[in-house]
Structure 1
């Protein structure tokens, strides 16, 4: 049972990690705010004061008022309601993209780091090729090939996020594959699959969690960017990037008279990304062996 013993963190270590995370006030702030975003997304049908798809052309670009707290957009739709429902679309799209990247990237990193040799070299050169392209540009190329749509945008963002996770897991694997507890597991007859999944993978979770959290911030930005360009969420889906795009398409006068239609969706994207980055920094403190002892 060497693999199980080696991967079971002591209770004292877990306590120190918790203290390290909660000592980071920005990380705690990020958890609280992002938790509110998630709660709002789940309760959007209850909290939204209006149907996010209901149009009122007579109220185009009306400023915030007692009835419409954040104003109305280019079709007279309630901006607050669309922001609440947009949280569902943007956050879930980012999470699903990162989940795809985490599964594929972890598998590639585990196999490359464990096997080594030419197998490792081939996989890492493929990752280097993907990293050679700017992430948004590569995502645009993929979506342009597959066709516009939120599903294809999530797939594209997931693909461009794979190399970062794969390289992080591979780096962790290189330092673990010849460790004493791996050798002990082999001597007890454990197969490659058991060693990878039961012994090595749990010990890679620290850097994997940190990288996946930071990747989530980039994924939210990329999803919003693709929707802004018309390649992600399609009208009339309430998505934060698509809301920005709709406001910009209404004309230059938006900058002069209806800035709220741009400010509120952009602010939601910025706050969400900032909070996710704060949480990622908190996890980095938690799993830093020099910081937590």
Structure 2
């Protein structure tokens, strides 16, 4: 029998026995279940399948270790109140924060991290990886690794700006609709319903075909598409707050609408709005990446993950997974943001782990 197989099963069984000896039931069930699953996979797929399982488990263990270390790092840097909240964060949320932090560093310091310029041609078409190009070259001979680093600045930065604009438009409209009510509430609500009734991708393609693919146009169009979602949530949250007694007391004191929004309503609706910001960012980010893939988003030679997938798609026909790297970067950021948002929604719901 292959020595790798013997060592693999011996390690799993030994770890399962240690977990059972120290009465760690969760670890025992996880490890022994992995042993049984690996036994079935080994029979069906052989040694190669077990190697894949080993790599996957190793990556999961590495991710868990990095997440735990990053959470402890944040706890050490935080104030006592925030540190107490961070201690309750699951490893998935810690992993999400680590990925977001990594993307932020890559985007901010892209010119210093990337070994080459985003539009610099340094090799032949689809040149293989070497000591100068970690991931090889694209269809024009540009360094793919450098373009992925710059793509973190361009793709994420544009999505963040569009999300902020959409959030400001939707949140301000929702707060005003809740406070003023009447015809303004009805007009804003029906306008939001009309915009939401049109599929977002079709609406974006139509607007960009008419007004062009300038970055400012992309930001405005995407913000208009997703601001109604923010409007509806803000209107619902603020609508439950404006009927409270302390709001009525503030109105009797003669306070204006902006005072009620700034000092009474907004502080009591922060948690769901922050969570909604994370969700909106994911939607906006995916829409911009889809538009770039279709050729109507960020235009060449500016590096963008969506356009990089389209430009290098021919490599898949030759068994090269390079086009999947920018696609994986898009998926990783989206999943990571959702991990953080899930934790924030759990905290804002008032539920506590026992």
Q: Distance in 2 between the 1:21 and 1:288 partners? A: 18
Q: Is the Cα contact below 8 Å between 2:278 and 2:338 reproduced in 1? A: yes
Change (3 A) 1:154 1:205: same
Q: 1:290: Cα distance to partner?
A: 3.8
Question: Contact between 2:114 and 2:146, CA under 8 Å: does it hold in 1?
Answer: yes
Distance 1:197 1:32 in 2: 32
Q: Hey, what's the Cα distance between the residues in 2 that align with 1:78 and 1:212?
A: 33
What is the aligned counterpart of 1:23 among 79, 89, 93? 89
Residue 213 (structure 1) aligns with: 278
| Residue 242 of structure 1, aligned match among 307, 321, 330 | 307
Give the deviation of 1:224 after TM superposition: 0.8
Q: Please state how far the C-alpha of 1:273 moved relative to its aligned partner.
A: 1.0
Matches within 5 A, 1:245-256: 245-248=310-313, 252=314, 254-256=315-317
Within-5 A mapping of 1:253-272: 254-257=315-318, 259-272=320-333
Contact 1:86 / 1:239 at 8 angstroms: preserved in 2?
yes
Tell me what 1:162 maps to: 227
Please, which runs of 5 or more residues in structure 2 have no aligned partner?
Answer: 1-79
User: Can you list the C-alpha shifts for 1:108-139, whole angstroms capped at 9, x where unaligned?
Assistant: 10111222233222211111111112222212
Cα displacement string for residues 25-75 of structure 1 (whole angstroms, at most 9, x for unaligned residues): 21111011110111011111111111221114x521123333211111001
Residue 177 of structure 2 corresponds to residue 112 of structure 1: yes
Preserved contact between residue 179 and residue 257 of structure 2 (Cα < 8 Å):
no
Gap change, CA 1:48 and 1:165, over 3 Å in 2: same
Query: Whose RCO is larger (CA < 8 A, sep 6+)?
Result: 1
Alpha-carbon distance between aligned partners in 1 of 2:305 and 2:216, rounded to the nearest angstrom: 16
Q: Which residue does 1:228 correspond to in 2? A: 293
Closer, same or farther in 2 for the Cα pair 1:154/1:86, shift >3 Å? same
Matched with 1:276 is 337
In the comparison of the two structures, how many residue pairs are matched?
Answer: 275
Q: Kindly tell me: are residues 149 and 27 of structure 1, through their superposed partners in 2, closer, same or farther at Cα, counting changes over 3 Å?
A: same
Q: What residue in structure 2 maps to residue 140 of structure 1?
A: 205
Structure 1 gaps of 5+ residues are: 1-13
CA distance in 1, matches of 2:121, 2:312: 15
Change over 3 Å in CA distance of 1:221–1:19 after alignment to 2: same
Give, in angstroms, the shift of residue 173 of structure 1: 1.1
Structure 2 CA distance for aligned equivalents of residues 192 and 237 of structure 1: 44
> Which of 257, 260, 284 is equivalent to 1:195?
260
Offset, 1:245? 2.2
Q: How many Å apart are 1:17 and its aligned residue?
A: 9.7
Distance 1:118 1:18, change over 3 A: farther
- Mapped to 2, the partners of 1:168 and 1:216 lie a distance apart of 15
Report whether the alignment pairs 1:92 with 2:157.
yes
CA distance in 2, matches of 1:237, 1:258: 26
Contact 1:71 1:260 in 2 (8 A): no
Per-residue CA distance 1:247-292 (angstroms, 9 max, x = gap):
23xxx4x222263331111111111111111111121112113448
Shift of 1:206: 1.5
1:244 Cα deviation from its structure 2 partner: 1.5
The RMSD of aligned alpha carbons is 2.1
**SS of residue matched to 2:312:** helix
Using the TM superposition, give the Cα deviation of residue 88 of structure 1 relative to its aligned residue in structure 2, in angstroms: 0.3
Contact 1:153 1:226 in 2 (8 A): no
